[in-house]
Amino acid sequence: MAFWVITADEKLPEFTALTQVLGTAFKLDYNTAAATARHSWGVLGRNLDETAAENLASRCSEAGLRTLKFPGPPPPLPAAERIKKAVFENGAALFTGGANLSLTAAPGDITVIAAAPIKEETSRMVKTTEGPSGQEKAIRMGVMAVTGLPIGLGKSREVNKEVKSSESSFYLDIVLAAGRRLRLNSGDFDFSCLKEKKTYSSQMNFRVFCAELAAFAPQAFKNAGLRAILEARPLTPLPYDSLADLETETLRLVLAKRGQAAGA
């Protein structure tokens, strides 16, 4: 039987502690252990045999880190349902989105709130007109000067070029006790629920909305990104390279929340 080992507390352990534990448990050099710790998001071991899982849990305990060990793999996260609007009134939150999505949640219905900036790269093909290069023109002029033949300076031509760009989008996942996961993207969300707190900046609106939601559901587990927002810290140092990082962290928080409810 294979086992998973995750950190049990809501807040992630210090990076240096995780690096040391993973390096010792799996006999990794420092750089490899640090890279593993950086993207573990509290999921310290997957599909380990029982001996390896027990060894990892023991190393964590020696370092003062609480863990959960359980047969794996765990159930996956529910599919993310995109929401485009939220309203807070009468002690409840109403979330709406596409495909007739309409869901009302009380504070206790929300178990995990996870926010993250995700850098997304896009590419598009652009048609441009290019003439001969400066070097080509110089060569042709030199030939004309020597031979006296009017060979011209060359023709322009149309070329297709791939243009790549990247920008950070801000995502928020809301996990409900009923087994659903809602997701919003700062670039595709109506922040009118913020009323007089709404600004012209989608990033600032995202931060304010996150704070409003965290205050609405104070018992929900919060991820590292949301904690940084609530503490007014920059988000760029956090290693969210893709949505996979956010989902790994969210899954760990869901499992830790269940462990807390079970008294683990």
Asked whether the predicted pLDDT for residue 131 surpasses 70, the reply is no
Catalogue all structural domains in the chain, each as residue range(s) with its CATH number.
3-71 (3.30.1390.10), 80-122+166-261 (no CATH), 126-163 (no CATH)
- Rounded to two decimals, the pTM is 0.83
Q: List the structure tokens of 238.
A: 């956090």
Helix/strand/coil for 120: strand
Closest CA to 57 of 16, 109, 5: 5
The pLDDT value given to residue 262: 83
Q: List the structure tokens of 217.
A: 């559901």
Asked whether the predicted pLDDT for residue 20 surpasses 90, the reply is yes
Percent of the chain at pLDDT > 90 equals 76
